[in-house]
Each structure stands twice: as C-alpha cells, then as structure tokens.
Chain A
Amino acid sequence: MESREIIETIDLNILGQVCPACLLVVLKALNTHEARLRGGRTRLLVRTDHRDSTRTVPESARKMGYEVEVRKVDGFYEISIGSKHA
C-alpha cells in the first residue's frame, strides 16, 4: 500500500483532566475530525497526565479502527491516533 506522509497534527491538550471526562473529550475530537483522520494524512495528538487515559483512550480508538501509539514524555503522556493505513 502506498505510504502517505503525515502533514497535519491536531493537538488536544487535556492535561489536568481525569476520566471519564478525558475519554469523552477525546471521543468527541475523534468524531469531529473523523474524515481527516481516516484520510491518513492527519493525526490527533492527545497530551494527558491521567494514567487511566493511556488505557481507556487507546482501547476505544482501536475499536474504532484507528492506529494508536502511546509514549511517555517528561511528566505526561502523548497518545497519537491516526489511520491504520497511513
């Protein structure tokens, strides 16, 4: 499959928020930007310091068919969500 370059990142800063609000906010963003994210050239980059989110967000996003990467950056987490076929 042709590999497409990621040229756009949507930042979602939910530092200080806890579940389930974190999850609902991320899900809302995923619904809002679905078309762009599915297109494969845009990724949603969530910054959170709530540890539970690193479990609930990826689980839900993967069920929707997104590819999710989680990495720890200094005092918070970055959850990158995008199309599987990017």
Chain B
Amino acid sequence: MRRSDEIPSGETQACAELRTANQAYARYIRDKTNQLLEMMGTRTLQPEELDDQALIELDPIGIVAGSFKQILAHLNQTIEELRQARAAETEQREFYLREKLKLIQVIESLSEGLLVLDEHNRIVSCNRAADEITDGSATEMLEQPLEALFPDMEPFLRPEARDMQGGEIRHRTRDGRERLLSANIGRLLDREGQCIGRVLTFRDSTDEKKRTELYHRAEKLAAIGQLSAGVAHELNTPLGSVLGYARLLLKDRTLNATQRAWTEIIAEQVKKSSAIIQGLLRFARQSNPAQRCLSACRLNDIITQTLPVLSTELSKRKIELVSDLEPLPAVMADPRELEQLVLNLTMNALQAIGAKGRIEVRTRHVGSRVLMTVEDNGPGIPEQIRSRIFDPFYTTKPLGEGTGLGLSICSGIVSDLGGTIDVASREGQGATFIVSLPAEQV
C-alpha cells in the first residue's frame, strides 16, 4: 500500500520537467529584460534582488513594452509637430516671397528713382526709374560708391550726416546735359538701431524748377501789368489837359515862332506819351475789354489790308516785304487786334533788319490750327534774351526809341485767343515768329 504523501514517480518526473521549463522561461524573461534595461542605460537585474517568482509577477517586459509604446507615441507626435512646423514654415516662406515680389513691383513702379546703399555707401540696388533718370548709369554703378554717380551727395554720406529731405543735387547726363535732381536720403537701421545702409530717392526736378521760375515771372509780370495800368489810367487825364491847353495855345495868334514851335513839341510829345499809355492799357487788357468784338476773321484779308500801311517805311529803306498766303479757315478774333498783331510783328522785323533786308509773311492751315509766320533775315535774337522778348518793357532798342510793349501786346492778344506765339532764331541768320491760332470750327 502507498503512503498518502507519497508522489508517484511519474508525477514527480512531470513536476520536475515543469519546474525546469519554468526556470527556462524565467531565465529567458530575465535575459530579455536585462537586454532592454541595458538599452535604457541602467544596470541588469540581480537574482538576489528579484527572484524568478517576483520577476514574473512584476512583468518587466510588459512594463518596458508599455514604455516603448509611449516613446513611439511621443515620437509620432514629435514627427507630426515637425511636419506641421515645416508646413507653417513653407507657408511663411511663400508669404514672404509673395510680399517681397509685391514690394519689388511697387519699387519698380515708382516714378521716383530709388537707390539702396550698403553701410559703406556703395550702391547695392536700384529701380527702373533710377536708371531712366540717370540714363542707365545707376545700374552700371552697382557696387560703386554713390559719390561716383552723384558727387554732390558726399556731404550727406558722412557718418555724422543726418537724413535729408528735398535736397537739390546736380547730375550731368551722358550727353552732357545738366539735370537738377530733388533727393531724399535716409538711414536704414537694423533692430538694434545700428545703421546698415541708406536709401536714396530722387526725381528730375529740372522742368519743374523751370515751370516754377516761369510761374513766378508771370506773377511778377501780372503785378507790373496791373500797376502800369493803374498809373497809365491816372496819367491819361492830366495828359489830356496838357494836350488841350497846348492846342489852345497854338490857336493864340500872339505867339511868336519860337513859342509856337515849342508848343508844337509839347503837343507832339504828349501824343507820343498817350500812345505809350494806350499800349500799356492794351497790354494790361484794361483799355476797353467790353469793346472787343469777336467775329470770324479772314487772317489773309487782314494781312493784305495791313501790310500797305508800312509801304512808306519800306520805301525809305531797301527792305523787301513778301507774303505767301495759303487759303485759310476763319479765326474767331477781334479784327482790330489781329491788325495790331500783324503790324507789330512786321514792324518788329522791320526794326530788327535796319536798312536792308527781306521780310516774308506766310500763312498755313495745319489741322485745326491757323499758322502765321513772320520771318526776317536780320541779325537774329541772341539765345540768352529769347525767353524775355515777350516781357513788357523789355527792349533792345536804345533808350527812348522803344517801349518794349509791341511783342508783349502780341503775346497778350494771341493767348487771349487761345493761341501760342513762339520764336525761332539763330544769331546772325534772322528770326521767325510763329503764331498759331485755333481755326473756327465749321
């Protein structure tokens, strides 16, 4: 009979096999756990710290697997954040590129020239307008100091120089023309406020300057005109009295010959003074504006009627007066003013020629304009006075021989009719006055 605590030999063997298998599994788990712990930078498990049973209960592989799962999730999250950051960066880069392109287009579309200088005042970029204003010199001067392009800028580029607004600099173009430029210069600063270069903007103000000068001169002339008209008007009455009394005296039979001669001189000089005053008033357009009577005038007829007036004067000298008149449409004007225009221009030519020469009066129909030219072969008009010949009181004649009003009256008449008057002349080769008037619309 077998004792109750006695284990059959077959079962003992099975238990032993199971124990061996368990030990093998525990060893396997321990080895793998140690490998993982080594990977994690810590020391391996010691059997005295953790026996096989405790090891299996702790489930170290499960713990490490859970940790790796978290590491993997974190890695994926980091990758996703990186991807998003990259996408945001790409978007931002595209935004900046778009803005940069926009800025370039804005700079290129500016009518003002723009130059960017580096910290050594060398030109690093320029826009289209800068090239146009400088005839392409701006592009050629890239990487060169600004003074090479604009020597006048040197004082504004010194380290202590402040920003400048509306400065004037002179620039000589390739063909030798001097242009006046209006320029602004400002420092470019970095985030710390350090100067990293300058930006220069400029425009060609040559024509604007000329226009301003003309405007000021026109204003001055207008003021002179008004003042003259006032003075002339005030002088008219006393002169009328002087002339009246001179005429009365001439009727006095008790005057001797000398007294009569002197009185005649007084009357003659008063008439001359009166003529000057009439000219002044006409120039100032205050003589009798209400009496101006506009009608459809035939300029050729007016010329034909007016020129014979000069025949006496012409016959005294050896001056040939010819006319070349083409059929013209009518112009709306006061015929008396047109007569004055023709007479003044022809008289002017006649006085310029002196004793011998030729005057030619021509008319042409060009588009919607009627042109009249009065050409002489006199000494011509020097260039330096050409711009002033239409100013009132400007004369080249000796003192007392001219009032300087003839051409300014012509200019006034023509501009009142909506026309233009110009002069072309070469010194020593005569002068040509060109009057352009609007033709009447049929």
Contacts and interface: CB of A to CB of B under 8 A. Distances in A.
Question: A and B from one assembly?
Answer: yes
Interface string B22-43: 0000000000000001001111
A21 B49 contact: yes
Contact of B67 (A18, A52, A55, A64): A64
Interface string B81-113: 000000000000000000000000000000000
A23 B45 CA distance: 11
B37 to A, nearest CB: 5
A63 interface: yes
B49 A31 contact: no
Interface in A1-34: 18-21, 23-24, 27-28, 30-31, 34
B275 interface: no
Contact of A31 (B40, B42, B66): B66
Nearest to A57: B42
Interface stretch (B69-77, B256-264, B305-313): B69-77
A76 B58 CA distance: 25
A65 interface: yes
A59 interface: yes
B43 A31 contact: no
Contact of A21 (B50, B64, B78): B50
Contact of B42 (A28, A34, A52, A63): A52
Contacts of A30: 66-67, 70
Contacts of A59: 40-41
Interface residues of B, number: 21
A27 B63 contact: yes
Contact of A56 (B41, B60, B63, B77): B41
B70 A31 contact: yes
Contacts of B60: 24
A55 B40 CA distance: 11
Contact of A20 (B45, B71, B73, B74): B45
A23 B50 CA distance: 14
B304 interface: no
A31 B63 contact: yes
B70 A19 contact: no
Given A21-B49, A24-B63, A64 B70 contact: yes
Nearest to B49: A21
Contacts of A20: 37, 42-45
Interface string A20-63: 11011001101100100000000000000000100110011001
